[in-house]
Amino acid sequence: MDYYVLLTGGKNNAGDFLIKHRAKKLLKELRPDREFKDFNSWEPFDEEKLEIVNNSIGLILTGGPALQRNIYPGIYKLTSDLSKIKVPIISFGIGWKSANGNWENINNYKLNDESLPLIHRLAESGYKSSVRDYHTMHVLQNYGMNNVVMTGCPALYDLDSIGKPIDVDTIDKINFSLGVGFIDSKNMERSVKDILIKLKEHFSHKKLSVKFHHSIDKKFLNTPDASSKLYQNNVRFSKWLESIGIEYEDISGSAQNLIDSYTNSDLHLGYRVHAHIFMSSISKPSILIAEDGRGKGLRALLGGIIFDGFTKRNDSFIDKAIDKAGLPKDRFEVDDNLSQLILRTLDSELENGMPRLKSVRSNIDLHFEVMKSFIKQLP
């Protein structure tokens, strides 16, 4: 049987494993006439892998915030000479990674010159490529790609939940996903701690648990591109949670950990994009706090309730220089009333039948039609 080669990014982050898991399920369901092989996206092709790729009918760049300045050969090593890849190269739900993530940032979102040959290969593939949000679509169109379609992230689509309305009778178990912005900003850390303290007080008779999508086990440091700074700050944050009596769980390392943990909850609130995507995909309520363009990109796609985790990110040349020098100046400004705003909004939703939260389901279902068309047109 003809096959695709998928390049996927699962290292430790639970969300990356979910993308891989859901992408494969979609292909199995919608393209049963094709098999697929899965390679790590960050590893360069040796001669053996290159032969496998060239014997396939398509190389598919699958999910994640891969559309970065150095998408090639930084994110995707591939080969030093793209002409050695003889098959179409197609993207499948990739996204941008903008620090601010606003619409106006689309026009100044730059890729380096080394990346442009890969963008040209996507544009000239003869097939549509897909992205995970409208911001990313416009960035690629700015680079001359007219064959790009907005399908959403593959992880958005749980085939058993399509058309299933969000309907939760009671909220007993709340999962809070911890982001990564707090490791570079004392203001962001103060904000997330304030939200958790207020949640614990507000829902004192409910079960509240914080989920770490990156591991707090020292073994994490042995995974590819592991950040010791992220590890150390996550461990430090877990100790703070212990000190105030909030439960936590490490769900890193697999899609199943994420699936099991969030399926067993009634509501998600927090910073992790794929916690929000997963809960929305199985028709459960979720509120996201966006800490970069990945979260803000979902707002235009899903609607629902997405708060900004910061009000301003100071990006002047001086701010960047101070940051690079490690001097004590916080580049993030936050809304000190964010926790109050979140709780007011959540109470209103629960009291009035969750009108904003329920609207997410219809947006997923409508975009699933686009995803189906994209997958069916693949070679």
pLDDT tens by residue, 107-124: 999 999 999 999 999 999
Q: What pLDDT score does 226 carry?
A: 83
**What pLDDT is stored for residue 191 in this prediction?**
97
b/e per residue 270-290 (b: at least 16 CB within 10 A): bbbbbbbbbbbbebbbbbbbb
- Per the confidence metrics, is the pTM higher than 0.85? yes
Query: Which pLDDT belongs to residue 219?
Result: 87
**Strand 89-92 vs strand 35-40: parallel, antiparallel, or unpaired?**
unpaired
DSSP strand pairing (332-333 vs 312-313): antiparallel
Which CATH architecture group holds 3-154+365-376? Answer: 3-Layer(aba) Sandwich (3.40)
- C-alpha span between 24 and 6 (Å, rounded): 9
What pLDDT band is residue 330 in, cutting at 50, 70 and 90? confident
pLDDT tier for residue 317 given thresholds of 50, 70 and 90: low
Per-residue pLDDT at 331 = 86
Token readout for 114 is 């080394």
What CATH number has the domain spanning 173-362? 3.40.50.2000
> Band of the pLDDT at 223, cuts 50, 70, 90?
confident
pLDDT tens for each residue of 241-273: 999 999 999 999 999 999 999 999 999 999 999
Could you tell me the pLDDT band of residue 6, with boundaries at 50, 70 and 90? very high
Give the Cα separation of 311 and 377 in Å (integer): 41
Say if residues 177 and 215 touch (Cβ distance below 8 Å).
Answer: no
Mean pLDDT of 282-290: 97
pLDDT at 146: 95
Q: Per-residue pLDDT for 322 more than 80?
A: no
Environment class of 41 (CB within 10 Å of its CB; exposed 0-12, middle 13-18, buried 19+): buried
Omega before residue 355 within 30° of 0, cis: no
Contacts of 133 (CB under 8 A, 6+ apart): 95, 96, 150, 152, 294, 297, 298, 300, 301
Token pair 């930084």 is found at 74
Predicted pLDDT at 31: 97
Region(s) of the chain under CATH 3.40.50.2000 = 173-362
Q: Mean of the pLDDT values across residues 302-308? A: 96
CA dihedral 126→34→365→125, nearest 10 degrees, is -10
Mean pLDDT of 32-52: 97
Query: By percentage, how much of the chain surpasses pLDDT 70?
Result: 97
pLDDT at 307 over 80: yes
Residue 32 pLDDT grade (very low, low, confident, very high; cuts 50, 70, 90): very high
Average pLDDT of the chain? 94
